[in-house]
Amino acid sequence: MASLPGCNNYCVCVALLLLCALVCRAASRTVSHVVEVESVEPHAESMEERHQRWMAQHGRSYTDDAEKQRRLAIFKSNVEYIESFNKVEGRQYKLGINEFADLTKEEFRARYLMGSKAMPRSPVPALDQREPFFYGNVTVEGLPSEKDWRKQGAVTGVKDQYGTCGSCWAFASVAAMEGAVKIKRGNLVSFSEQELVDCATSYGNGGCNGGFMNSAYIYIVQRGGLASERDYPYEGAQGTCKAWDVPRAERIVSFGYVRQNDEQALLEAVARQPVAVGFDAHDDGFAYYESGIYAGPCGTEWSHSLAIVGYGTTSDGTKYWLAKNSWGGSWGEGGFVRIKRDIDDVQGMCGLAMLPIYPIA
């Protein structure tokens, strides 16, 4: 049968148009389906799920469901505080949900701080009867712009004052001594904090109830040295003194004080060795510190002790101290904290410049 004039071209065009319409409709359905799938919001983790995950991460368990619910409520309150803090623009440091997140403020302070102690105001004379040696005679211009004693092998691994034991004073004393001995004699020895907790109580220290670094050094000098951590390991509680049953790993001959309320003098001291300092750690933010330059708020009540093991300046010009803490490696920047340096207050951030002490190896 003869086709109508122009039918071939016309039919082909119509067929192509119908085919295009079908393809576009199918594609439209596919795109619509894809868009619909992508628009589904991910599951928002509940606070209960976050707490459960946190428990698994930190190996936490509770005696019963009532205790778990109580800890969940505390955890929720602390997490909300941490997240609210981190949302504020311009903060110099960040907080993190760490192993302390299910403790109340009072529980944390009882376990990890010393309570409010007054800074000793009358330095004890040097034990070898030399003239007391104070840093502060070298101009800052002659010092290195930054220092990190970790890079020179003068800092042992981060330790943990676990248990309900306010033994930070022992850890700070030991950390500074470890650095001094390494710098002087070339041996990096991990010394025993437990010996100080158990044995230095007659020197004015309170074991797990707090103490002073100068009293710790008096004990070490008069005892003829300090045991190693290997021979006298940490137990997280005060026990019977065993110092006479273990050998002395190393000794110091004396100790000195950095000039009080003088961060320039402290800079000179830290350029030459790690230094032990008192610190006001009552601020809730310090417990959850994760990274950055800690800048308070804080007072000057000596509730904690740290070892200053370096200093430096950030890319934006913020000066800081590098301090070794004793709350384990999961706290802060791998167990360390950077603290703002050269502030307007002569006592230093949180009172760290009020009475810095260094051992003499």
The secondary structure of 12-57 as a DSSP string is HHHHHHHHHHHHHHHHHHHHHHHHHHHTSPPPPPPHHHHHHHHHHH
Residue 64 φ/ψ region, left for φ over 0, alpha for ψ in the -120 to 50 degree band, beta for the rest: beta
- Is residue 147 included in any domain, yes or no? yes
Tokens 């008096």 found at: 218
Tens digit of each residue's pLDDT (9 = 90 or more) over 298-349: 999 989 999 999 999 999 999 999 999 999 999 999 999 999 999 999 999 9
- Is residue 321 included in any domain, yes or no? yes
Q: Which residues contact 352 (CB under 8 A, 6 or more apart)?
A: 266, 277, 278, 279, 306, 308, 321, 339
Between strands 336-340 and 289-294, the pairing is parallel
51 noted as active-site residue: no
CATH number of the domain where residue 206 is located: 3.90.70.10
- Give the chain's mean pLDDT: 87
- Is residue 74 included in any domain, yes or no? no
Q: Which residues contact 129 (CB under 8 A, 6 or more apart)?
A: none
Can you give the residue range of the structural domain that contains 311?
Answer: 108-360
CA–CA dist 242, 244 (Å, integer) = 6
- Is residue 59 included in any domain, yes or no? no
Catalytic residue among 51, 208, 304, 350: 304
Length of the chain: 361
325 noted as active-site residue: yes
- Is residue 13 included in any domain, yes or no? no
pLDDT at 134 (0 to 100)? 57
pTM for this predicted structure: 0.84
What is the tally of structural domains in the chain? 1
pLDDT at 39 (0 to 100)? 46
Catalytic residue among 165, 168, 199, 298: 168
Burial class (CB in 10 A: 0-12, 13-18, 19+), 56: exposed
- Is residue 73 included in any domain, yes or no? no
* Of 13, 311, 306, 349, nearest in space to 168 by CA: 306
Residue 106 in tokens: 């009072």
Which helix (H) or strand (E) segment holds residue 214: the answer is helix 213-223
* Omega of the bond leading into 123 within 30 degrees of 0 (cis): no
24 noted as active-site residue: no
As a whole number, mean pLDDT of residues 8-31 equals 46
Tens digit of each residue's pLDDT (9 = 90 or more) over 259-268: 889 999 999 9
- Is residue 140 included in any domain, yes or no? yes
